[in-house]
Structure 1
């Protein structure tokens, strides 16, 4: 649990940058990739990350601008990536300006649960990490190169002249 706004901002910026790398690697064609007809497309998962971040913040009591036309998934991978770039910066700025280290322990009922603000911020990060993982699997299925997140991807190992670990 976060004890300072700066700790959250540092982690948010790191995770958002990793998410941005994934979003920047998408192509317009890849947005239609899905596991099965019943599942979300890669584009809909990407747009969910982008459009739900402000909604979660608003639910938490942070004033941010909602994504315009959030129910319409763009057909442009670039538009999705650029919108997240703005959402990510707005997230850092809004939390830093509106909350304090002391306010992190304040309780609020969100999604039917009484939670401290620090836990809400942790939920926000876990949300993008969860969906980013889903996206990387669909990216492989779509034939895209997956960027390394917490270490090199298979392709990045190769570029370093090394073989990716098999385990």
Structure 2
């Protein structure tokens, strides 16, 4: 039952992420709001990469970032980021579909070279926070990036100010 609820949200929100990533023009990829922030391309790439963490979160009790291989691909074109998202979201969907939800309360932690970097907690809490909510947070940032560069924002939960409904 938990898996079905997560799957429904996953599918809905993956479509919202797809709309948002497809709204990024190449001309905005190098923009960033300050020296402390990522560029639009880096932020969009990170959003696409979160989907690559599903297998290690759903199917392992210890996610080792020391051995994890981050492959952002070529982020010089927005379409490349969308393609990486599509690859990752397909694998994420498979990980969620194949997940044994009886492991939802297993203790999960993230380590790097033997050091705990994400405190142990029930896997379901990590799925909601580390995967789902983390992604939503960064999508919100990306909306601000798009607005700040004069680009349109797609409706994800209804019309936006860019739609003719207003």
Do the aligned partners of residues 90 and 32 (structure 1) sit closer, same or farther apart at CA in structure 2, a change above 3 Å counting?
same
Rounded Cα–Cα distance in structure 2 between residues aligned with 1:23 and 1:153: 16
Match of 1:74 in 2: 75
User: 1-side partners of 2:88 and 2:69: how far apart?
Assistant: 8
Q: CA RMSD in A?
A: 2.1
Distance 1:112 1:140, change over 3 A: closer
Unaligned runs of 5+ in 2: 61-67, 111-116
SS in 1 for 2:75: coil
Structure with higher RCO (Cα < 8 A, 6+ apart): 1
Aligned to 2:97: 96
**Cα distance in 1, alignment partners of residues 36 and 126 from structure 2:** 30
2:1 matches 1:40: no
Distance 1:67 1:153, change over 3 A: farther
Equivalent in 115, 123, 127 of residue 117 of structure 1: 123
Q: Which runs of 5+ in 1 are unaligned?
A: none
Cα deviation code 1:98-130 (max 9, x no counterpart): x22222122222343222221121120111100
Does the CA-based 8 Å contact 1:45-1:135 persist in structure 2? yes
- 1:27 corresponding residue in structure 2: 25
TM-score (ref. length: structure 1): 0.81
Per the TM alignment, residue 73 of structure 1 is displaced from its structure 2 partner at its CA by 5.3
Q: Secondary structure at the match of 2:152?
A: coil
Change (3 A) 1:80 1:139: same
Note closer, same or farther for the CA distance 1:11–1:114 as it changes in structure 2 (3 Å cut). Answer: same
- Count how many residue pairs are aligned between Structure 1 and Structure 2: 152
Structure 1 partner of 2:6: 8
In 1, are the aligned partners of 2:28 and 2:149 still within 8 Å (CA)? yes
CA contact (8 A) 1:34 1:40 kept: yes
Measure the CA separation in 2 of the matches of 1:5 and 1:100.
8
Runs of 4+ in 1 over 2 A off after TM superposition: 56-63, 66-70, 109-112
More off after superposition, 133-142 vs 106-115: 106-115
Q: Does residue 145 of the first structure (1) align with residue 152 of the second (2)?
A: yes
2:113 alignment counterpart? none
